[in-house]
Amino acid sequence: MLPSNNQSLQFSSQPRPSALVDSTTSMQVDKNEASFVARDEMQNGEFSQAKSIIESSKKLQDDLRMLGMKIKQHEDSIKLLKTQKNKLDDSILDMQVMLGKYHSSSAPKTENKDQLHLQSEEETTEQILRHEKSAAGILCQLKTRHGTQASHLTLTKDVLGPVAALGKVDDENLSRLFSEYLGVQTMLAIVCKTYEGIKALETYNQDGCIDKTSGLHGLGASVGRSLDGRYLVICLESLRPYAGDFVADDPQRRLDLLMPRLPNGECPPGFLGFAVNMIHVDSSNLFYDTASGDGLRETLFYNLFSRLQVYRTRAEMVLALPCISEGAVSLDGGMIRSPGVFSLGSREEVDVRFLKPSATSDVPQNYIETEKQMKEMRWEKEKLVEDMKRELALLNSVKFNFESKKQDFVKFLAQSSSYATQFQAARDRSTPR
């Protein structure tokens, strides 16, 4: 017998098995958990990315702020250096006026003395000009033709002159003796302040050969004097200067060298002094011929003569051998080049000698002091100009870095904005509605 309808309905309304209910509920829970996990991961990634953007932005802003401060510092330094340079220019001009007034007021009194000095300088110039194919001869020829304008040429603006023209010796015999000791090649050596001056004297082509159309070679051709063979050039800034003290209150700034002593402690008989201190140096070259403020005596002449001793006679020089450390000469022609190296034979007549000092002992001390101060100011001005060039180079470098960093920051902002837009769109798509 078939079941009735009531029985059928009763059967269909029976409760579902518990396993089926649990499975459905578990699926719903898993979906919800997966949704929460995905949402948490997105939030964590969003937080991490946002933190990275903030840190990168802060670093770029800090870098820009630091570079801006450096720009301000360099600009302030340049303004200060310009102010100092202008003050020095005014002071130098005032001192030039003072020295000009002195020359005007003392011209009649020193006419004969100036004439003696001029004759001495002309005599040395003539001696140098006899060496027609020498570098010194070419430079002297240029100076003879163009006067003071020659010193303003790019080729010669760093050149002080030949060795023979930079020192003076008041004794004729000593002058001949020192010239012989140094030799004609050294007496004709060109003295430059810096290595830049040396590079201007001679240039080379791609093969390393001398360019005969420029430098001293080109200048020689222009004045009808071809430059042959080698020539010496001395760079003052490359010399190791005397590092000791100077004789106190000496307007010539002679070196305070230790006197030679025999084993018994006494000074050798016949000792007259050191050659380096017997050279008279013009007041214009006593100071600030190098960037460190040194003059010709402690650079050029100290390197040429060192502690060369001068004695009255050869016999007295020989007796002093135990205390001769770096050579000696005597007024009667004796010569010791270095300990154990003697120069014998007849005296060699060198046809290029030092100038004779002009009679300027009556020049007022305040004039010498003013000249010294003016040269010191010019030296300080040159240093200021170099400092300004260096500050300007640093300023340009920092400005370049600032502009580069600013472009990086603008690109970063654009990329961050694009990322934020994309992230928001992805977030909106993932959010259930």
- Please state which of the ranges 166-175, 234-243, 350-359 shows the lowest mean pLDDT: 350-359
372, containing H or E segment: helix 365-430
Residue 423 has pLDDT above 70, yes or no: no
Expressed as residue numbers, the domain containing 272 is: 131-359
Higher pLDDT, 142 or 185: 185
What phi and psi values does residue 272 have, to the nearest 5 degrees?
-105, -20
Residue 204 counted as domain residue: yes
Q: Between β-strands 335-338 and 309-311, what pairing exists: parallel, antiparallel or unpaired? A: unpaired
Residue 256 counted as domain residue: yes
Q: 246: domain CATH number?
A: 3.30.70.1620
Q: How many domains does the chain have?
A: 1
Q: What is the mean pLDDT of the chain?
A: 78
Alpha-carbon span 80 to 58, nearest angstrom: 33
Closest CA to 427 of 83, 79, 47, 100: 47
Residue 67 counted as domain residue: no
Residue 428 counted as domain residue: no
Alpha-carbon span 254 to 295, nearest angstrom: 11
Q: Cα dist. 267→263, 271, 272 in Å?
A: 10, 7, 10
Q: Output DSSP code: residue 277.
A: G
Residue 157 counted as domain residue: yes
Residue 429 counted as domain residue: no
Average pLDDT in the 171-191 region? Answer: 93
Residue 109 counted as domain residue: no
Residue 138 tokens read as 């070419």
Has this prediction a pTM greater than 0.85?
A: no
Q: How far apart are the first and last CA of the chain?
A: 55
**pLDDT tens digits, one per residue of 71-101:** 988 899 888 888 888 887 777 777 766 666 5
Strand ordering across the sheet containing 271-274 = 271-274, 309-311, 328-330, 335-338, 341-342
pLDDT of residue 239: 93
Residue 384 counted as domain residue: no
